[in-house]
Structures are given as structure tokens and as C-alpha cells.
Amino acid sequence: MTKWEIKGREFVNCNCAYGCPCQFNSLPTHGDCKAVMVFQVDEGHHRDIRLDGLAFAMIVAWPGPIHEGRGQLVPVVDERASPEQREAMLRIINGQDTEPGATVFQVFATTMEKVHDPVFGKFNFDVDAGARKAQVSIPGVADARGEPIVNPVTGNTHRARINLPNGFEYDLCEVGRGWAETQGPVALSLADSHAYFASFHITESGVANHA
């Protein structure tokens, strides 16, 4: 098995209600699943190819629950990546070089009916998981933002976390709300829906802190 490892920060906005029933093995809020997933790799490698400082994203959509398949994926890779780095990140995104069921990338790959040609773009990405804030701009591809949930009575920010000790993407995330617009073959428009913010540490064998 090819050795790889990535550590960094992520922001995800999907079309479910705050909290996302998918995180609890329940059916999605509106019956289908759509999401923008953005990852900043602070440290990482695939074999001996360094991935430090690069970003990638996944624009995904399924007509029903994820486990029923028929999904579509648009992989988006940092334009600064060399050809070797691009290939390495695409192999990770597409669930290759990964133990079955070990990572979100490999699990999602098994549900895809169509993987569109990769897009290479300029990432402007800032995320602060503790503050539940994120800003994403990939010109011509996607724009998204994340904010804390606000208590409708007091107006105060609301804090909630999801802990998945056996999860395939993160161990702990901060829950918030998000907005996203994407262009291209999977065009999404998400507004005031579930978002989460997390640090990740993933290898070919799964989430590192409980792999």
C-alpha cells in the first residue's frame, strides 16, 4: 500500500439542516446530498512527494442519500501544484492508494457515477475552526463562507460539536452554517445550511488519531 499522510484544516458546507443527519446514520434533510468540501494541507506527502501548503476541494452531489450512489464529483486542485503533486492529490481525492472504507475520499469514490475532469484553480481559503468561520474563493469555480449558528432568541452565537471516534474524515468538528455557489458541471447554490469546521490528520489507513 502506498504511504500518504495529510494534516490541515477543512471547511464543508452541505445542503442539510444544521447538524446534518448523515452524521448520525439518518437520511438527509431534503432527500439528496450536495456539498462543497475544501481542504488546506499544512503538512503532507504522497510517497516522497511533498504536499505542504497546497489546497484542494471536492464539489459533490448525489440525487439521494450518499450510500445509494449515483453521485457526481468535481475534483479541484491548487493551480500551484506541480504535475507530480497534482497527480498525488488526485489519487488521494479519488480514493486510490487507500484501505477500503478508511477515508472519506475512498468511501465517496465508491458512490460516484461520474467523476468530472479535474479543475485547477487559485485558492483563497481562510478557516478558523474554533471561531466557526471560513471564507473560500476559487475564481470561476466556487465561492463559499461559513459562520457560527446564531441563537434566534438571544442573538448570541451557538456552539456545538460532533465527535466521531470511528469516523472516516475527522474525530471532532465544530458545527456552524454556510453558504456556497459553484459553477461548472456540478452547479450548487447552498444557503444558510449545515457547515462544519475541523482539523484533519488522515493517512491511507484512516483518521490518524484513531486509525
User: What is the number of residues in the chain?
Assistant: 211
Q: How confident is the model at residue 211 (pLDDT cuts 50, 70, 90)?
A: very low
Whether 60 shows a pLDDT value over 70: the answer reads: yes
The rounded percent of the chain whose pLDDT value lies above 70 is 99
pLDDT at 210: 55
| Of 150, 148, 152, 143, the residue nearest 129 (C-alpha) | 148
Q: Across residues 177-203, what is the average pLDDT?
A: 98
Q: Please list the alpha-helical segments (H only) found in the chain.
A: 83-93, 104-109
Q: Considering the entire predicted model, what is its pTM?
A: 0.97
HSE-up (13 A, CA, CB side) for residue 12: 25
Average pLDDT along the chain: 97
pLDDT at 121: 98
Q: Residue 205 CB: number of other CB atoms within 10 A?
A: 15
**Domain boundaries, given as residue ranges, for the chain:** 4-206
